[in-house]
Amino acid sequence: MKLIRVGAAVLDQTPLDWDGNRDRILAAIEQARGEGVSLLCLPEMAITGYSCEDAFYSPGVHATALEVLMHEIAPATVGMVAAIGLPLRVHKALFDTVAMVVDGVVKGFVAKRHLAADGLYYEPRWFRPWPRDRRVSVDIGDHVLPVGDLFFSIDGVRIGFEVCEDAWVADRPGSHLARKGVDIILNPSGSHFAFGKHDVRERFVLEGSRAFGVAYVYSNLIGNESGRAIYDGGALIASGGQLVAAGPRFSFREVDITSATIDVDANRMLQVRTGSFMPDLEPDDGARVRVPFAFPSLAATSPPPAVALGAGSLSKEEAFARAIGLALFDYLRKSRSRGFVVSLSGGADSAAVACLVKIMVDVAHAELGADGLGRCLDYLPDLDLERDCADPRRLVKRLLLCVYQATRNSTETTRNAARELAEGLGAEFCELDVDSLVDGYVDRISEAVGRPLDWQRDDIALQNIQARVRSPSVWMFANLRGALLLSTSNRSEAAVGYATMDGDTSGGLAPIAGIDKDFLRRWLRWLEREGLAETGPVASLAAVNAQAPTAELRPKEAKQTDEADLMPYDVLEAVERAAIRDKLMPVEVYRSLRPRFPTVTRQQLADWVERFFRLWCRNQWKRERYAPSFHVDDENLDPKTWCRFPILSGGFQREIRELRTYADADVMGRPDDADPAATRPDASQLDAAHPDATPPDPVHSEAAQQERTS
């Protein structure tokens, strides 16, 4: 029986925060040592931070990372083995590597073989994938150290690596390591949160342990590391094909250790009994690095209890609340902002943003306590630890200002809903009347153009000016308080540009821009009825949830609603996913959605699909200008990190004409299983098919949109 106490560290790191990152690594080492851990895996790029972007091009970054590793971290590992991530330059190329540090000395570097290049990730911009079965040496000070596709033999135990993306590909390095007789695989990761992603991690950790006959140790980052991505932690340890330890997710602690005792010999015997396993019996090819070290002797114990697969799973509603609450907290303290300002309209979007700030405070208080909160927010002037940090409601009032700005088109319904919610959350609340500001702009422009503006000719301009005049006031509040203005636009609005630039899009951070409006409304109803354990239900959402979403920018008699301007939000979400996530053309979107919405007429559905594609193309420039948003699922529209689209394009004109031709035939009773290509006109007929087709719309003209919101 060969017993080893292994540990996975979860760290809240910040790019280029050399001292802070080092101190958290050292704290993790000490905490692990206190738990009897002798083999510790830390996250990917733990020294520099994962998201250094083009700072990875700096030679000074490479040099500082090595300096911190060799002289400030390695000496603290005496008596244990630790895997610590950092970038390493080898032969004029940069690699994502993990240093194996044994008993205070760096013994070599394993380089990542598969780089993440989709969605949020642009690793090939900075790094090169390490080729399989290649090893070289590098000179680091007075040391010559091996680098590459390596594993380590320590006290008779073989230890190998899969670095983050390495475990997500079909040709996992683990299968190669298993044939080399590796006993333990460490996976230092920087894996961002997305709905349902943790379940995938559990599966590859469990399957890696079973199929490779190893103990598998997975570590990850936690928190809002650099602004957009959220890391949910969730360290995992599997052995003998069972998940034996799982760390917390969405923790507000900067350092957390998950540990377990694994039996190396038991895993070896499982592999012996696997008839399909055939080891690599070739002579030693140099991949093994022998390191003298003796793991501490451990007394025989009963096997660790298996952890249920999916133990870290949460409902989508709870995962969203915890992810955004954590991201806001990290953004607050890392940016050293003194709180948040929200333009609270009484509608769903701004209500959700305000509630997320309340959730942030309640969960942080429940986990960290008054002392922990005080340490995180010690930069706030005049922070009273006993009064402000001990009472979550007082802290909400200290950190959150909600501002309701009325015009003559506002209703008492939204005014009362905003006031009741702010009071229910414990936020500071302020009301302003901005009609005089609106009238001032309208009068000046009327005089300049030589005619009075009216709703028949100037609908879009008269709506947008109301949203824009609200922006300077909330910015001024934010400036006075040293606070961060939170934008309240959601993903559905971003998809179709249903927002006023420099109006309701104003802000330094957009917490809900990554989530669709249909889910957001369901989430608010869940929050009103249930909520998190730390917060309980938010009953003051009742007035918000009772309303139909509306911009309240047209005169009251117009009875404006968002869904009348656009389409029902469940349809909008479905069209967006089919068009943007699945990359279907307009006819294909129409055909795929017909069975999902049988009560919608075919002509209406075709009109909505056409409207979406026109507005999507027309409003890419807006998406380019939105405040940074949090990434919460892999259907994001953020052009900086996920969904790229040209600002200028042909606007799907040809495809929309095909949709019209197909839908016209469909309305007339064409068989459902007919091939859309059968009704597709050839190029010479396209213009004749719809002679009244409009030319491409202006890209930057909001007046061309016909839709907007506050």
- pLDDT tens profile 199-221: 999 999 999 999 999 999 999 99
pLDDT in tens, 63-82: 999 999 999 999 999 999 99
Give the residue with greater pLDDT, 565 vs 357.
357
Listed residue (330, 350, 333) closest to 342, CA to CA: 350
- Alpha carbon separation from 585 to 537, 567, 612, 655 (Å, rounded): 42, 19, 12, 7
- Look at strands 3-11 and 215-223 and give their pairing: parallel
∠ CA 397-402-408, rounded to 5°:
150
Q: What is the full DSSP assignment across 370-398?
A: HHHHHHHTTTSTT--IIIIIT-HHHHHHH
252: confidence class by pLDDT, cuts 50, 70, 90: very high
pLDDT value at 486 more than 50: yes
- The residue type of 325 is G
pLDDT in tens, 495-505: 999 999 999 89
Angle between helices 586-593 and 653-667 (to 10 degrees): 40
Strand, helix or coil for residue 187:
strand
- Tell me the average pLDDT across 344-359: 97
Rounded to whole angstroms, the Cα distance separating 636 from 516 reads: 9
pLDDT value at 6 more than 50: yes
User: Within 10 Å of residue 344's Cβ, how many Cβ atoms?
Assistant: 31
pLDDT value at 686 more than 50: no
pLDDT in tens, 179-198: 999 999 999 999 999 999 99
Asked if residue 532 lies in contact with residue 553, where contact means CB atoms within 8 angstroms, the answer is no
Question: Which residues touch 68 (CB under 8 Å, ≥6 apart)?
Answer: 18, 21, 22, 47
Rounded to whole angstroms, the Cα distance separating 183 from 514 reads: 41
pLDDT in tens, 286-331: 889 999 999 999 887 777 777 876 666 799 999 999 999 999 999 9
Rounded to whole angstroms, the Cα distance separating 5 from 259 reads: 7
Q: What phi and psi values does residue 622 have, to the nearest 5 degrees? A: -70, -45
- The residue type of 339 is G
Question: Which residues touch 309 (CB under 8 Å, ≥6 apart)?
Answer: 202, 203, 206, 243
Q: What are the helix (H) ranges across 566-641? A: 569-576, 586-593, 602-618, 620-625
Listed residue (50, 61, 173) closest to 123, CA to CA: 50
pLDDT value at 691 more than 50: no
pLDDT in tens, 391-403: 999 999 999 999 9
pLDDT of residue 275: 66
Rounded to whole angstroms, the Cα distance separating 135 from 710 reads: 59
Q: Where are the beta strands (DSSP E) in 395-462?
A: 400-406, 428-433
pLDDT value at 692 more than 50: no
- Tell me the average pLDDT across 499-528: 95
Q: What phi and psi values does residue 94 have, to the nearest 5 degrees? A: -105, 140
- Tell me the average pLDDT across 26-31: 98
pLDDT value at 688 more than 70: no
pLDDT of residue 119: 80
pLDDT of residue 700: 36
Q: How far is CA 583 from the centre of its chain?
A: 21
First vs last Cα of the chain: how many Å apart?
67
pLDDT of residue 304: 74
| Least-confidence region, from 138-147, 240-249, 527-536, 687-696 | 687-696
Q: What is the full DSSP assignment across 551-583?
A: ---S-GGG---HHHHS--HHHHHHHHIIIIIS-
pLDDT of residue 670: 62
- Tell me the average pLDDT across 244-260: 97
- Tell me the average pLDDT across 381-407: 93
Q: Report the share of the chain in percent with pLDDT over 70.
A: 93
User: Within 10 Å of residue 701's Cβ, how many Cβ atoms?
Assistant: 10
Domains present along the chain, CATH in parentheses: 3-291 (3.60.110.10), 316-562 (3.40.50.620)
Rounded to whole angstroms, the Cα distance separating 244 from 26 reads: 25
Listed residue (217, 203, 207) closest to 264, CA to CA: 217
Q: What phi and psi values does residue 54 have, to the nearest 5 degrees? A: -75, -5
pLDDT of residue 247: 97
pLDDT value at 672 more than 80: no
Give the residue with greater pLDDT, 47 vs 564.
47
Strand, helix or coil for residue 273:
coil
Question: Which residues touch 379 (CB under 8 Å, ≥6 apart)?
Answer: 333, 336
Rounded to whole angstroms, the Cα distance separating 539 from 550 reads: 21
pLDDT value at 693 more than 60: no
Rounded to whole angstroms, the Cα distance separating 379 from 337 reads: 9
Listed residue (566, 673, 648, 643) closest to 610, CA to CA: 566
Taking the CA of residue 608 as centre, how many other CA atoms within 13 Å lie in the half-sphere pointing to its CB? Answer: 26
pLDDT of residue 383: 86
Asked if residue 45 lies in contact with residue 163, where contact means CB atoms within 8 angstroms, the answer is no
Rounded to whole angstroms, the Cα distance separating 180 from 3 reads: 20
pLDDT value at 430 more than 90: yes
pLDDT in tens, 119-137: 889 999 999 999 999 999 9
pLDDT in tens, 588-626: 999 999 999 999 999 999 999 999 999 999 999 999 999
pLDDT value at 677 more than 60: no
Asked if residue 111 lies in contact with residue 132, where contact means CB atoms within 8 angstroms, the answer is no
Q: Report the share of the chain in percent with pLDDT over 90.
A: 82
